[in-house]
């Protein structure tokens, strides 16, 4: 089988991007308070970005003769991003702390993909991982700035 570790990371990303999209959507739905008018529509943009990444990642997996997870059950069984029922008791900064943690995880997973695709000499997929890691790090900077933190890992 060609590129087995790369395919494994790609499928992990399918599950995790799907889950993170839902976490962002939950933030969108349960947001209240300061900056609502600015942040509420921004969550739509972030969710669209994650969904676009999911499409590219899934299609790359298929191009490598892989089979992306495609059911809610598979996503739930394989994601490493935790979920919890939505409640009104979290502030927007608390929700952004959760997003910060989840985006850090995503950046680390993209880094793992960069490394395994390098080992397996799948440079086309590595290019995808590098681009999305760069986008994820930019998103992290923005989340940290909203929380009044420096871009480095405060988590």
Q: What domains are defined for the chain? A: 4-79+89-146 (1.20.1260.10)
pLDDT at 138 over 50: yes
What span, in angstroms and rounded, lies between the C-alpha atoms of 40 and 62?
34
Q: How far is CA 4 from CA 18, 46, 55, 105, in A?
A: 21, 30, 20, 21
The pLDDT assigned to 34 comes to 83
The yes-or-no verdict on residue 119 having pLDDT over 70 is yes
Whole-angstrom Cα distance, residue 153 to residue 150?
Answer: 8
Q: What are phi and psi of 74, to 5 degrees?
A: -65, -40
Q: Which two tokens stand for residue 104?
A: 């850090």
Q: pTM of the prediction? A: 0.94
pLDDT of residue 7: 98
- Give the residue among 43, 44, 48, 68 at the shortest CA–CA distance from 58: 68
pLDDT of the residue at 54: 98
d(CA 149, CA 155): 10
Q: Each residue of 37-55: pLDDT tens digit?
A: 999 999 999 999 999 999 9
């Amino acid at each position: 089988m060609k590129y087995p570790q790369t395919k494994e990371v790609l499928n992990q990303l399918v599950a995790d991007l799907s889950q993170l999209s839902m976490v962002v959507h939950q933030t969108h739905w349960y947001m209240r308070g300061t900056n609502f008018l600015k942040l509420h529509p921004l969550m739509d943009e972030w969710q669209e970005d994650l969904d676009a990444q999911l499409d590219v990642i899934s299609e790359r997996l298929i191009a490598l003769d892989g089979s992306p997870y495609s059911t809610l059950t598979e996503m739930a069984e394989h994601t490493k991003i935790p979920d919890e029922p939505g409640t009104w008791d979290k502030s927007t900064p608390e929700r952004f702390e959760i997003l910060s943690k989840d985006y850090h995880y995503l950046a680390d997973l993209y880094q793992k993909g960069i490394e395994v695709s390098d080992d397996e000499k799948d440079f086309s997929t590595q290019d995808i991982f590098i681009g999305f890691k760069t986008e994820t790090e930019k998103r992290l900077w923005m989340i940290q700035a909203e929380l009044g933190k420096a871009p480095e890992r405060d988590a």
